[in-house]
Chain A
Amino acid sequence: MFEKLQERLETTFKKLRGYGKLSEDNIKDSLREVRVALLEADVNYKVAKDFLEKIKEKALGAEVLTSITPGQQFVKIVYDELCELLGRVNVPVDVSGSPPVAVLLAGLQGSGKTTTAGKLALFLRKKGRKPLLVPSDIYRPAAIEQLTKIGNQIGISTFSVKDIKSPVTICTEAKAYAMKNGFDTVIVDTAGRLHINDEMVEELINQKKVLNPKETLLVIDSMTGQDAVGIAKTFHERLGIDGVILTKLDGDTRGGAALSIRAVTGRPIKLIGIGEKLDALEPFHPERMASRILGMGDVISLVEKAQEVFDEKKAREFEKRIRKDEFTLEDFRDQIKQMKKLGSLESIISMFPGLNKLKGAIDFQAAEKDIKKIEAIINSMTKKERLYPHIIDGSRRLRISKGSGTKVQDVNDLLKKYAETKKMIKKFAKGGMKGLPKQLLFR
């Protein structure tokens, strides 16, 4: 998501690596590169200027560590400042207090409020809350239906607006309804509005008054360029916001908005939307984002995600079977399924330090296709075949290939790969990590 910025900074730091000491002269180029990188990434002009001032001051200061190279030191300074600019720590969505606690979502048209409302409800339910979705966009055709449908998809109740004609009344009634029916969180989706549309902003202020939300969150499209700052500032001044949700970060946006918003409003980015699916909402972690920008990867996010999707019981069972040398095609399929839950190959790779350079080199589309093919082939086998692959003879291969819409060649390939993997796992089970060839780790 921040690749562009990342690439630019990487070349800068490479240049710095040769020097023995940081001086005004040799950091000048690096500073200029950082400045261009920031401006190109649509970071607000003033924010970028302040940022560079701070870096310069610190880089020329006395904090010289003997154990590292000046280049590394410069990276560290930029990293620290980036963390600072992004807000240092993650500020979670606060839904504490006596229920029902209200969360109000505001933003421009098309920023992704309705989808985000659904995502947020799912996100909070995973944390043990019982949310009620409240649609209050009475202007855009079918906006209310959209939220109701999203609610149905994820099994979360949506407040029935019926013929209430005022967004303010919807808020009052929804809160009473939540109180009566035991919902502890109320998530209110609102109509999209331009920050310069006084009348509409006034309506939002009134909604906020009756709702008395614990969190008023501004939903901003991360593709919004320099305007993001103005939007965030105006909404904050008029309405008062507690935090920001940044959406559509899975595009090729340069992400400068993320860097400026916090600096200008003083309000943290709390969550980020990273895909079209309803579980594609993540807490925003400044230090991880800073590492990602600087190409240090985001291993923590990956581990956390893995913990969330991996079924521990299954994993333990799997381990047992491996030890007993009982790795079947059924297990193989389970592994693929679990990995898919982690996200696309591309998004997984982007979380590894250093692997970002691979991004251009690997055809992820083709790799994903291969995985799909393998899954289809395994799915076309009978249970018996999956458990005892050695029984798969020529006619079975033909049937499987037809069933999965692949060629016999593909089935052969898969069985060969399976045999190889099994051999490898056998070694692994006996000799531990040492037995594992390097290719497997990078596959």
Chain B
Amino acid sequence: MGLLDKIKNGLTKTREQLITRIEWIVQGKPLNEDSFDEIEEALILADAGIETAEILMTRLKERWKRGHIKTTEDIKRCMAEEIEKILKPVESPMPMDGKRPFIILTLGVNGVGKTTTIAKIAKIFCDNGKSVLLGACDTFRAAAIEQLEVWAKRLNIDVVKHKEGSDPAAVAYDSVKASLARGVDVLILDTAGRLHTKTNLMEEMKKIKRVVSKEIDGAPQEILLVVDATNGQNAIIQAKTFNDALNVTGLVITKLDGTAKGGFILPIAHSLKIPIRYIGVGEKFDDLIPFTASYFSHAMLENG
């Protein structure tokens, strides 16, 4: 299966709802101002956000007035184009060149799939011939270290770890030291899930970041936030809060296949402008896909 098909598969729920609504609105009637209001509502219901939905509608209406839009197919095609324009600025892969080791600090609320995502990203690096080391900074949740270890074993890479309950910043420190000593290409740090509302846990995160940058100037090069697509609007709040506290440099959006609200990616792209690195559309290793604006926008609206 090609990448586009995979994304399409993952976005089935979002697309079907959106398309069904649009077709229902347009069906048999000539297009007028009202139909655009209704399409806007359909977008909002897919969690596309009020501001972004308005922008899309203004642009679509302009094209309609110029006579470019007549059928449902036109709407879908034009909307996909406009969505692509909004998403394009956040399409940017992880900047891998420069200093070694490339250090990725992952974070996110509980249960979004951080550890699994790390394993998947590590595999992508391994497949590209890079040497990878993992740091088990989630010392809080029971068996989190073991979970990371199982993945590492499958990928045949090493994990730097301490005991459960130890200081995550200390693990980060040791991981950085180990990555330097071994001369690895990539170090990925796993951290405990934390609700963005807990100030003390955000402080802990800042400490981890400080410890890493103290050892290597400019590191961690990537502060990677993992958000769960099924969290919908709350995921946007999460991204905002984490970004304010830690300057997030990249996003991974997981579990897109479990929601009909894939539209929430639009307000994230529009208002936060944080590069989206990967999207998760399934449980398998290769279901974590590099984000591309054109694929995503097409998968959101086009069946064929």
Contacts and interface: CB of A to CB of B under 8 A. Distances in A.
Interface of A: 42, 45, 108-112, 114-115, 140-143, 145-150, 153, 194-196, 221, 223-227, 230, 248, 250-254, 276, 365
Nearest to A118: B142
Contact of B255 (A109, A141, A230): A109
B234 A252 contact: yes
B242 interface: no
Contacts of A223: 109, 228, 231, 234
B128 interface: no
Q: Which of B109, B111, B149 has the most CB of A within 10 A?
A: B111
Contact size class for B? 35 or more
B47 interface: yes
A118 to B, nearest CB: 8
B259 A227 contact: yes
A227 B230 contact: yes
Given A109-B111, A248-B111, 15 more contacts: A108-B258, A141-B149, A142-B144, A149-B142, A149-B143, A194-B258, A195-B258, A221-B231, A224-B230, A225-B231, A225-B233, A225-B261, A226-B45, A226-B47, A253-B234
B22 to A, nearest CB: 17
A109 B230 CA distance: 10
A142 B143 contact: yes
Contact of B150 (A45, A142, A251): A142
Q: Which of A109, A143, A194 has the most CB of B within 10 A?
A: A109
A142 B197 contact: no
Contacts of B200: 365
Contacts of A142: 143-144, 146-147, 149-150
Contact of B113 (A109, A146, A221, A248): A109
A251 B147 contact: no
17 contacts: A45-B45, A108-B230, A110-B112, A110-B228, A110-B255, A142-B150, A146-B146, A150-B142, A196-B13, A225-B230, A227-B260, A227-B261, A251-B234, A252-B196, A252-B237, A254-B234, A276-B140
B151 interface: yes
A141 B143 CA distance: 9
Contacts of B13: 196
B232 interface: yes
B239 to A, nearest CB: 13
Nearest to A200: B283
Contacts of B150: 141-142
A196 B142 contact: no
Given A109-B111, A109-B113, A142-B149, A226 B197 contact: no
Contacts of A149: 142-143, 164
Nearest to A364: B199
B257 interface: yes
B260 A230 contact: yes
A112 B111 contact: yes
A227 B234 contact: no
B55 interface: no
Contact of B151 (A109, A141, A143): A141
Q: What are the 6 tightest A-B residue pairs by CB atom distance, in nearest-first order?
A: A110-B111, A225-B232, A141-B150, A146-B143, A149-B142, A142-B147
Contact of B258 (A112, A141, A196): A196
A348 B109 CA distance: 23
B206 to A, nearest CB: 14
Given A248-B110, A365-B199, A42 B233 contact: yes
B80 to A, nearest CB: 23
A440 B144 CA distance: 44
A251 B146 contact: no
A165 to B, nearest CB: 16
Given A251-B197, A365-B199, A221 B233 contact: no
Nearest to A148: B143
Nearest to A369: B200
B63 interface: no
B195 interface: yes
B141 interface: yes
B110 A110 contact: yes
A225 B47 contact: yes
B105 to A, nearest CB: 20
B146 A248 contact: no
Contacts of A150: 142
A194 B256 CA distance: 11
A276 B198 CA distance: 11
A45 B17 CA distance: 15
A114 B116 CA distance: 16
Interface string B109-142: 1111100100000000000000000000000111
Contacts of A250: 195, 197
B111 A227 contact: no
Contact of A141 (B147, B195, B260, B261): B147
Nearest to B237: A252
A388 to B, nearest CB: 35
Interface string B246-281: 000000000101111100000000000000000000
B234 A110 contact: no
A357 to B, nearest CB: 18
Contacts of A108: 230, 255, 258
A365 B197 CA distance: 12
Nearest to A230: B260
Nearest to B44: A39
Nearest to A139: B283
